[in-house]
Amino acid sequence: MTPDPVPLCDINAQYRALKTEIDAAVLRVIGSGQAILGPEVAAFEGEAAAYCGADYAVGCGSGTDALVLALHALGVGPGDEVIVPPFTFFATASSVCRVGARPVFADIDPVTFNIDPAQIAAKVTGRTRAVIPVHLFGQCCDMDAIRLTAADHGLYVVEDAAQSLGAEYRGTRCGTLGEVACFSFYPTKNLGTLGDAGMVTTNDPGVAKTLRALRVHGSEVKYYHKYLGYNMRLDAVHAAMLRVKLPHVAGWLTRRQEAAGRYDALIEAQHLSGFVQRPVARPDRRHVFNQYVVRVPAAHRDPLVQHLKASGVGVEVYYPLALHQQECFQYLDYRTGDFPASEEATRTVLALPMFPEITAAQQERVVSVCSGYLRQRLRTAA
């Protein structure tokens, strides 16, 4: 008998647990006749801002929208450069292009996978306007060093916190570690809806006001357009679902951390730590493990992925190609070899199943499938 498959992420587990409340919230929106923005969105914004410790939260259509709105609201545009890591989700860099600016890549710290502050300073020119530190996989960047560099050169700091709602840096939650922070509520994020949604947080009332205008075609008064804005609004049905889930995020993040600790212990116990490098959580941050990403020797990565998939274990490679190597960014004129830490990461990383409801038995299965692969390889090598 083959054991049950272990999914990479169980999207429906939260719905099963909160079905009564979520159904009621959705029906309330259906009955209200207010489909887009409105009181449900305003209420969510207030609750989410409070959770992040920010003065303002502005809901929008996705995490990608959040990045575009944030850059635009700060006045980043044509002729400007924005420093971003090449090892991140595509939208971190594409949003820079969307406002007419140029992404400039700075390599990552190979231990945390986050942008290396020393590399940022080396990439600053007279045209640099902002830097986007991405809190990858659930762990904040080295924000003190980044803020220092940003202050030295007069740069805005735009947090890409899409994967890291609830993560902390030296006791402060992400969301106020720069001028603005961008969040995603894509289904697999720490707080997810049943579709696309996002949010920008800030402590600057002027920026918040501009963000609110930009997301509705740049108008503060309907049909009078102050800015060349966008349709990047948050739907009430998503806000209603997110309001039901938000109070549960604290518990879910604790369970993610517990699951990460269990993986760590299992990898040690099965004597795999020479083969599987565990993620490193810095002691001055709270890593909330949106993903549990390990590294294995490059020659073993793809065969291990295949073995896990064939054994019914969900696995994913975040990310198989660095951004400076993407076809659409060839015009930026980078070469393979320019960002060795990012390129090495693309060859060695893999994400194991991680979600708050994952059970110890499921995790044991994942790790024993990994050790089964290694034993099989050692046998063929002998």
Ligand X SMILES: *Cc1c(COP(=O)(O)O)cnc(C)c1O
The contact set with ligand X (CB under 6 A) reads 62-64, 88-89, 91-92, 134, 160, 162-163, 184, 186, 196, 198
Least separation in angstroms between residue 189's CB and ligand X is: 6
Q: Are 255 and 357 in contact (CB under 8 A)?
A: yes
State which residue, 173 or 262, has the beta carbon closest to ligand X.
Answer: 173
**CB closest to ligand X, residue no:** 63
Q: Taking a C-beta distance cutoff of 8 angstroms, is the pair 116, 141 a contact?
A: no
Q: Which of 152, 150, 199, 153 is nearest to 179 (CA)?
A: 150
Our CB check for ligand X shows the closer of 54 and 162 to be 162
Q: Which of 7, 22, 9 is nearest to 247 (CA)?
A: 22
Rounded to the nearest whole angstrom, what is the least distance from the CB of residue 322 to ligand X in the complex? Answer: 14
Residue 131 near residue 137, CB atoms below 8 Å: no
Beta strands in the chain (DSSP E): 56-60, 81-84, 102-105, 128-131, 156-160, 168-169, 172-173, 180-184, 198-202, 219-221, 224-225, 285-286, 292-295, 349-352
Task: Quote the least distance from Cβ 369 to ligand X, whole Å.
Answer: 26
Q: Between residues 65 and 266, which has the closer beta carbon with respect to ligand X?
A: 65
Minimum separation from the CB atom of position 315 to ligand X (A): 17
CA distance 234 to 215: 9
**What gap in Å lies between CA 117 and CA 120, rounded to an integer?**
5
**Would you say 198 or 353 has its CB closer to ligand X?**
198
The least distance separating ligand X from the CB of residue 91, rounded to whole angstroms, comes to: 4
Rounded to an integer, what is the distance from CA 204 to the centroid of its chain? 23
| Residue nearer to ligand X on the CB measure, 89 or 252 | 89
Which CB, 191 or 266, lies closer to ligand X?
191
Contact 358, 261 (CB under 8 A): no
Rank residues 266 and 323 by Cβ distance to ligand X and give the closer one.
323
DSSP strands (E only) in 99-254: 102-105, 128-131, 156-160, 168-169, 172-173, 180-184, 198-202, 219-221, 224-225
CB of 224 to ligand X, least distance (A): 29
CB of 27 to ligand X, least distance (A): 25
